[in-house]
Chain A
Amino acid sequence: MTQSMDKVMSLPEAVRRFVPDGSHISIGGFTLNRNPMAAVYEIIRQRVRNLHLYAHSNGQGMDELVGAGCVARLEIAYGGTGRFAPTCIRFRKAVEEGSLVVEDYSNYQMTLRFMAGAMGVPFLPTRSGLGTDLLERWGFSEELRRSDPRIPDRKLSVIENPFGRWAGASRLVAVPAIHPDVTLLHVQQADAQGTARIQGLTFADVEQAKAARRLVLTCEEVVETEALRSDPDRNHIPFFNVDAVVPVPWGAYPTACFRYYDYDPRYLSDYRTYASSDEGWQSYLETFVYGVSGHEELLDRMGAERREAIRADGRTGYANNLDRR
C-alpha cells in the first residue's frame, strides 16, 4: 500500500520487489479467465521458490506455478480449467507424487477467507462444510501450522450460533482470514496511481486485492486518470491499495480477458499435451517460459494471426464462433 502518484514499473522489477522466495501469494482470475499469466510466467522465469499459494479456482496460473516448482504449499478449492483440464494436470501430478502439500477448502470458504482478511476480522462464518471431510480431514500438519506465523493453528472451526437459533442456524463453520504477502491481479484498465477497473465478472479479485499486504496490478492499458474518474461507478480498486502498476497488453494470455480477447484454445490444448508427460512439460517450460525474454516475445512467437483469431467482439466481449474443439 503506497501513496506515490506513479506506480508504473516493469514486470521483472515488480516481481523482484514484491514476490521474494517464501512469499504467501494469491493470484486473480478464475480457471481460464483473467489469470495474471504474464506475472505467473515472470515468477517462473525468476525461479522464485517455496511459495505458499492461496487459490479458489485459479486454474491455469496455479497449474503452471505448481508445475514449475515454485509452490511448496497450496490452499485451494478447485484445481481445474473447465473442459481443457477437468483436473489441472501438473497439480494432479504434484499431489499424487507427494511434492505439494495441499489444504482443501470450498470456493465460498476461500472467498470468505479473503473477505475476512480484507475486513480485518479473524474469521467469517458460513453454513458450508458441515457434515463433510473439508472439516474432518486436514492437509497441513500441526508442525507446519506452528512453524509459520502466517498460518492459523486450525484449518476450520465449528462454532455454536452465539445468537441461539437466530436466522435458523444452530452451528456454523468459521473460516480463518487470509493475509497474503502479495496479491497479483490482471485488470483491464488502471491509471498510474493504481485506481483500477475490471470488466466482466470480478470473481474474488477485489477481496484478494484488499486482503493482501502488497498488491501488484498488471493491466491491458494504463489510462489517463480522467478516463477512470469521469465514470467512477465502474472502478473496483482504490489506488491506495496498490503498490505496482504494470502495463502488459495481452497479460492474461493464454487465458481470456473480457472485452479484450478470448482464451486461446490452441494454446490450452497444446498445454494439455505438453503437461501430460514429464519430458513434454520440461520442453514446454524451456520453449515457452524460460525460452522467451518476456510476455511480448511469447506473443510474437504465437503470431499476429493467432491473436487476431481470439480478439474480442465489441458486442459480446469474446471471440464469436471461435474454433474451440
Chain B
Amino acid sequence: MTSTDDYTLREMMTVAAAREIRDGEIVFCGTGISMVAAMAAKHISAPNSVIFFETGAVDSLLEEVPMAVADSRVMFWTSVNGGLADAFATMQNPFTGPRVVGILGAAQIDRFGNLNSTVIGDYAAPRVRFSGSGGACDVASFVGRTLLFMQHEPRKFVERLDYRTSPGWLDGPEARQRTGLAGGGPAAVITNMAIMRFDEKSREMYLDGTYPGIRPEAVLDRMSFQVDVSRAKPVSPPTADELDILRRICDPQRLILG
C-alpha cells in the first residue's frame, strides 16, 4: 500500500494534470510527463478519453511508456496509424479540433499563457537554443483548450518572452479572434508548486491553487510578474489510488517520473 504522504512533486504535477482531463476528450500528448498524465487520466477520471499524437497515432494502448511521440510504442494497438498531415488536420478540423485538449510545455511563459520553446536571447544570435515549435504552435492555434506544464522559476515566468513560439491568449481579451485564430486557448498552467488559471474577462493568469505545504507568496517569489492570489485554494495531494496507478501501471520503470 502506498502512502499518500510520500510522493514527489513530479507525481503531484502528473496527477494534477490527469485530473484536468475530461471524460471523452481527445488528449494531444507531447513527450514526457504529459503522456503519463494522459495514461493516468484513463484510469482516474476519464476512462473514455483518447490518447492522440501529432505523429498520427490515434488511441494508442500504451502498454509501455513511450520515450518520444514517434516511439514504436505509440503505434501498437491503435485505432488508426496515420501521419502528421492527418494528425494536425484533426486538430484544425472544426468538428474534431474543439474536442482536443492539448498538453504542452515550454522554456518561458508570459501572463497570457503565450509560450517560448525556441530560444533564450536574441533570435539571430541566441544564448540558448531549444528544440523549437514542433507541433506546439499548431496545437496552441487549433484545439479547444490547452494545459501547460511549467517549472516555477522567475526566468521561466517572464514579463516578456524572448520568442513567441505558440499563441496563448496573445495580449488579452478578443486578441485571438482579432488575429484570426480559432480554438480556445490555455486553460491551466500546472507547475511544480501550483495550478494557475486564466481570468475569463482579462485572460490574465491567476493563482488557482497551491500544492500541500506551499504558500501563495512562495509561488509569487518564483515568478517575474505578479498575479492575483486571492482565489488560491489548496490542491488535494495525490490519493493512494492515484499514486498506485502512476507507479504500477503508467511508468513502473520510472522513465518519466524519475
Instruction: Compute how far the CA of A170 lies from the CA of B176 in the bound complex, rounded to whole angstroms.
Output: 11
Given A76-B132, A111-B88, A130-B141, do A201 and B68 touch, yes or no (CB 8 Å)? no
Given A95-B126, A168-B182, A201-B82, do A107 and B71 touch, yes or no (CB 8 Å)? no
Whether B214 is near chain A, meaning CB under 8 Å from some CB there, is no
Instruction: Compute how far the CA of A34 lies from the CA of B56 in the bound complex, rounded to whole angstroms.
Output: 15
Interface string of B114-132 (1 = CB under 8 A from A): 0000100001111111111
B182 and A316 contact, CB distance less than 8 A: no
- Give which listed residue, A30, A108, A136, contacts B88 with CB less than 8 A: A108
Instruction: Compute how far the CA of A107 lies from the CA of B132 in the bound complex, rounded to whole angstroms.
Output: 10
Residue of B nearest to A129 (CB): B137
Q: From B1-9, B38-46, B165-173, B242-250, give the one contacting chain A.
A: B165-173
Given A87-B129, A130-B180, A167-B94, do A204 and B84 touch, yes or no (CB 8 Å)? yes
Could you say which interface size class chain A belongs to? 35 or more
- Give which listed residue, A33, A169, A204, contacts B83 with CB less than 8 A: A204
Could you say which interface size class chain B belongs to? 35 or more
Number of A-B pairs, beta carbon distance below 8 Å: 217
Instruction: Compute how far the CA of A265 lies from the CA of B68 in the bound complex, rounded to whole angstroms.
Output: 12
Interface class of chain B by DSSP: loop
Instruction: Compute how far the CA of A12 lies from the CA of B19 in the bound complex, rounded to whole angstroms.
Output: 53
Whether B181 is near chain A, meaning CB under 8 Å from some CB there, is yes
Residues of A near any B CB (own CB < 8 A): 29-34, 56-57, 59, 76-84, 86-88, 91-92, 95-96, 98, 104-109, 111-112, 115, 126-134, 136-137, 139, 167-172, 200-207, 256, 258, 262-263, 265, 312, 316-318, 320-321, 324-325
Give 28 A-B contacts (CB < 8 Å), ordered by A residue: A30-B69, A30-B70, A31-B70, A32-B70, A59-B68, A77-B134, A82-B68, A86-B130, A87-B131, A91-B129, A95-B126, A105-B133, A106-B138, A108-B88, A111-B84, A128-B138, A130-B179, A131-B167, A132-B165, A172-B180, A201-B55, A201-B70, A202-B81, A202-B82, A256-B71, A265-B67, A316-B72, A316-B76
